[in-house]
Amino acid sequence: MTPPIIRKRSALRDLATRWKRSGETVGVVPTMGALHQGHLSLVRAAKKECDRVIVTVFVNPKQFNSPEDYENYPRTEEEDARKLTPFEVDAVYAPDGAEIYPDGFATTVSVSGLTDALCGVHRPGHFDGVATVVTKLFTQSMADRAYFGEKDYQQLQVVTRLSADLDLGTAVVPCPTIREEDGLAMSSRNLLLSDRARTWAPELNRAMEEMADGLLRGGDFETLKTEAISRIDRAGFTEVEYLELRSADTLELLQTADRPARLLAAAWLAGVRLIDNIAVG
Residues recognised as catalytic: 39
Q: Does 57 bind ligand PAF (CB under 6 A)?
A: no
- Burial class, 181, CB count within 10 angstroms (exposed 0-12 / middle 13-18 / buried 19+): exposed
Task: Identify which of residues 155 and 205 has a Cβ nearer to ligand PAF in the complex.
Answer: 155
Task: Identify which of residues 159 and 212 has a Cβ nearer to ligand PAF in the complex.
Answer: 159
Stretch that binds ligand PAF, among 4-12, 26-34, 111-119, 221-229 (CB under 6 A): 26-34
Q: Does 132 bind ligand PAF (CB under 6 A)?
A: no
Q: Does 133 bind ligand PAF (CB under 6 A)?
A: yes
Q: Does 240 bind ligand PAF (CB under 6 A)?
A: no
Task: Identify which of residues 109 and 261 has a Cβ nearer to ligand PAF in the complex.
Answer: 109
Q: Give the count of beta carbons closer than 10 Å to the beta carbon of residue 259.
A: 13
Task: Identify which of residues 57 and 229 has a Cβ nearer to ligand PAF in the complex.
Answer: 57
Q: 92, 84 in Cβ contact below 8 A?
A: yes
Q: Does 60 bind ligand PAF (CB under 6 A)?
A: yes
Q: 144, 50 in Cβ contact below 8 A?
A: yes
Q: Rounded to an integer, what is the distance from CA 22 to the centroid of its chain?
A: 31
Contact footprint for ligand PAF (CB under 6 A): 30-32, 60, 63, 130, 133-134, 152, 155
